[in-house]
Amino acid sequence: MGGWRDMSAEALEDQYSPSRWSPRLDRDTIIDAHLAVTAAGTERARASAQTSLHVPYGKGDREKLDIYFPTDHSGSHMDTMVLQVRRSLAFLVEQYPEIRGIYLCGHSAGAHLAAMVLFTDWTEFHVVPDIKVPLPSGAVLVSGVYDLEPILHTYVNDALNMSREVAQRNSPMRHVAPAVPAACEVLVVVAQHDSPEFRRQSQEYSQALRAAGWSVSLLDLAGVDHFDVIEKLSENSYILTQVILNMISRA
């Protein structure tokens, strides 16, 4: 059975170019449409919630996060990005010790970063989460990449400039650890019209987590592509919206 190593460079480029797989729009317009939809969704979210935007958690220009409070008011480059996400969560725990849980939801590259958070030694950040409130409390990984090595051979790495060592060090698939008793629930989501490589990675990563004892579910969503799989979260009737709200409500 062949794998990504048997693909031509052109075929591998296609596999890691989500815009080439949507049946809705052509690849020249779907990214612009996606950016427009997500930007509008962000504006709606900011208008309907109490927020604290662009909160610095480090000294870098990009080390800022947007905090969305519940309405009831209760209670190398890749290495750097992973560190920044981990530091942002440590900041939240220290800044808001009364919170009941932190839930991660990442899409595409964001799903990769969220997956890296699952295997963090929080003592390095001087954070020791309560055993009843694991960090994170839940994770939703949408259309992500969990093994970065294939990307080394695509245009995606032109900007990242990862070496094989960096790619391996930052591949969640290579760092799956046995689940501890307080390990969070993980939902791995993949779209019907994601590329076969994206679908393979989601399936294999969820299998690896399950084999290591994690509470993990794989949600394969029909009728959506790499982009509207996340765009539809603004719809209350969307199955993924309902699943995420249910995950949080069980806390």
Q: Which pLDDT tens digit goes with each residue over 204-232?
A: 999 999 999 999 999 999 999 999 999 99
Q: Is 125 exposed, middle or buried (0-12, 13-18, 19+ CB in 10 A)?
A: middle
pLDDT classification of 73: cutoffs 50, 70, 90: very low
Q: What is the pLDDT of residue 70?
A: 66
Report the Cα–Cα distance between both ends of the chain, in Å, rounded: 42
Which of 235, 243, 11 minimizes the C-alpha distance to 140?
Answer: 243
What is the distance between the alpha carbons of residues 150 and 10, in angstroms, rounded to a whole number? 13
The mean per-residue pLDDT over the stretch 226-239 comes to 97
Which of 22, 34, 107, 108 is catalytic? The answer is 108
Number of structural domains the chain divides into: 1
The mean per-residue pLDDT over the stretch 95-119 comes to 92
Binning pLDDT at 50, 70 and 90, where does residue 133 land? low
Percent of the chain's residues with pLDDT above 90:
68
71: domain CATH number? 3.40.50.1820
- Please choose, from the candidates 52, 127, 44, 57, the residue with its C-alpha nearest in 3D space to the C-alpha of residue 93: 127
Contact 207, 175 (CB under 8 A): no
Task: Say if residue 75's pLDDT is above 50.
Answer: no
pLDDT of residue 71: 64
Of the residues 143, 195, 226, 228, which is catalytic? Answer: 226
In three-state secondary structure terms, 139 is: strand
Calculate what percentage of the chain has a pLDDT beyond 70.
Answer: 95
Q: pLDDT tens for residues 22-66?
A: 999 998 899 999 999 999 999 988 888 778 788 887 878 888 888
Q: Is 108 annotated as catalytic?
A: yes
Q: Which pLDDT score, from 0 to 100, does residue 143 have?
A: 98
More confident residue, 135 or 6: 6
CB 16, CB 26: distance < 8 Å: no
Report d(CA 227, CA 30) in Å as an integer: 8
Question: Confidence band (pLDDT; 50, 70, 90) for 131?
Answer: low
For residue 51, the model assigns a pLDDT of 81
User: Which residue range forms the structural domain that includes residue 94?
Assistant: 4-249
Q: What is the mean pLDDT of residues 59-88?
A: 80
Q: Using CA atoms of 60, 66, 69, 70 in order, give the dihedral in degrees to the nearest 10.
A: -130
Report the distance separating Cα 193 and Cα 104, nearest Å.
Answer: 23
Catalytic residue among 137, 147, 171, 194: 194
Model pTM above 0.85: no
The model's confidence at residue 72, banded by pLDDT at 50, 70 and 90, is low
- Told to judge if 194 belongs to the known catalytic residues of this protein, a careful annotator would answer yes
Q: Is 226 a catalytic residue?
A: yes
Name the least confident of 119-133, 141-155, 228-242: 119-133
In sequence order, the 6+-apart residues with CB closer than 8 A to the CB of 75 are 98, 99, 100
Please identify which residue in the block is written with the tokens 């000294």.
59
* Residue range 83-102: mean pLDDT, rounded: 88
| pLDDT value of position 74 | 40
